Structure 1
């Protein structure tokens, strides 16, 4: 964690405009370099926001992948601070009051949620969801529960849906597969793909109609037909999934030697149709 939480640290963060802005202009309150995380910390580019995101654990990363692949998500703000918490007059009892200030410096704590997510309804109206990502064992600690209760009361006053997501609510295989596909969202570094993209997509879709063939077989055939370097067939396939032009069952572990029919692979068109994976928690 941050070595010492004091007024100097808060003022520095505010001067750096942390926790402020939306979309590509948002800067998280906590950055990867600020935290000695128990899990793996990751910087990852988000296509929804067009900026680099800071994930402080694998569990946060998995949830981020699910958000990135959700068509109804329009903005993702991670490590989001409740900067106006002390101005909201959140009702607290004596026990909870102790959690509002640093025990050593008596500086007000700046509570953060893992994600503040902006979503759109069918009518185009936007709304927010606040989500805290925690390992379920952390919820056994009284201090953790007290902090979460303070945040719950804050968002209740704000009229924003608040929830806690643990490893039990996240389909890790689905998240990993989405991350695997999103890795090839941008193929600008592969001119042999971009220069022939319309033709490659047409043939890839045609090959995918042979449900008894394997992924490996289809990719090898495409690479041979177009004299592509080995591995580019797979990159193209992942790109089409990331762009929602091809859909498949991403909840299963993917083996390249398996037949296509095992994964319900379908072409969804240039705009991706209605294919998506909603994050309901």
Structure 2
């Protein structure tokens, strides 16, 4: 827990290489153990980056799910610090100048954005998006708006797309469903699934073609046919969705006893182009 923002803290973070690196080597500037979050803080492994992410609220977690599920996202850097902010000669008035330094210690503030996202451009060149995740009521505070304005000017000068995302832009049911399937992205802990994956996928797809069957009916039949433990059919199904081999309507609450036809289940194919739920543009 950061008790006081001072030069000792900044130097310690810099020595730990926080806010530096990319992909699996990136270390967020702020980590779960550093602050008392107003929401639930989460450490979660990211398959895009192959590292653990530090998310400081439920809204950040939901947005992270969208990014993880987006085919065009190449890197996700959370709690990203603007370490060179004070070197950018950003024009500020007297009121904004007050936000540049800690009132008590007079140490320069290190501003952070919730996410700096690297996306794959059409020409193969990466481009970046900076996103601040906030509850909408927080935007009613003048101090919050002033900090955001400073960050907006910073990214404008950098030529990086900048935006704010609130709970009004996040479909929570969709986010929860994406998180639900992503927890089965990797099935290496289930050797009976990986060793029979080709045959299991074929039979799963064949069973799902009966639109009047239920999900639970399909999973139970598959489990009996391959002598699988109960629940492995569901894990396989989520794995195929997470890896974009099967698509379905993830905006609805999922009931496994419901008919398949209610969820627009389709076979996409390995690394298919289904990117319906991409966000952040």
What's the TM-score bracket when you normalise by the shorter of the two chains?
Answer: over 0.9
Q: Distance in 2 between matches of 1:267 and 1:275?
A: 14
Tell me which residue corresponds to 2:224: 224
After TM superposition, give the deviation of residue 274 of structure 1 in Å.
3.7
User: Is residue 2:140 matched to residue 1:148?
Assistant: no
Q: Which residue matches 1:74?
A: 74
User: What residue in structure 2 maps to residue 197 of structure 1?
Assistant: 197
Determine the structure 2 residue equivalent to 1:25: 25
Kindly indicate whether residue 59 of structure 2 is the aligned counterpart of residue 59 of structure 1. yes
Alignment of 1:165-176 (within 5 A): 165-176=165-176
Is 1:187 aligned to 2:194, yes or no?
no
Cα distance in 2 for partners of 1:46, 1:205 equals 27
Q: Residues 133 and 275 of structure 1: is their aligned pair in 2 closer, same or farther, counting only changes over 3 Å?
A: closer
Q: How many residues align?
A: 281
Deviations 1:191-229 (A, max 9, x none): 111111110000000001000000000000000100100
**Distance between the aligned counterparts of 2:35 and 2:278, measured in 1?**
30
**What pairs with 1:1-281 in structure 2 (closer than 5 Å)?**
2-281=2-281
Alpha-carbon contact 2:115-2:130 (below 8 Å) kept: yes
Assess if the C-alpha contact under 8 Å between 1:66 and 1:175 holds in 2. yes
Residue 123 of structure 1 deviates from its aligned partner by: 2.0
User: Secondary structure at the residue paired with 1:102?
Assistant: coil
Asked if structure 1 preserves the Cα contact closer than 8 Å seen for 2:74 and 2:120, the reply is yes
Q: CA deviation at 1:276?
A: 4.5
Alpha-carbon distance change, 275 to 94 in structure 1, aligned in 2, over 3 angstroms: closer
Bigger drift between 266-275 and 110-119 goes to 266-275
Mark the runs of 5 or more structure 1 residues left unpaired by the alignment: none
User: For residues 151 and 86 of structure 2, what CA distance do their matches in structure 1 show?
Assistant: 11
**Alignment TM-score, normalising by the size of structure 1:** 0.98
Work out the CA distance in 2 between the residues paired with 1:154 and 1:270. 40
Contact in 2 for aligned 1:247/1:275 (Cα 8 Å)? no
Query: Does the Cα contact within 8 Å between 1:244 and 1:271 map onto a contact in 2?
Result: yes
- Aligned residue for 1:173, secondary structure, equals helix
Q: Is the 8 A contact 1:132 1:164 kept in 2?
A: yes
8 Å CA contact retained: 1:268, 1:275: no
- In structure 1, what is the Cα distance between the partners aligned to 2:275 and 2:115? 23
**Aligned equivalents of 1:64, 1:125: Cα separation in 2:** 23
Question: 1:121 Cα deviation (Å)?
Answer: 1.9
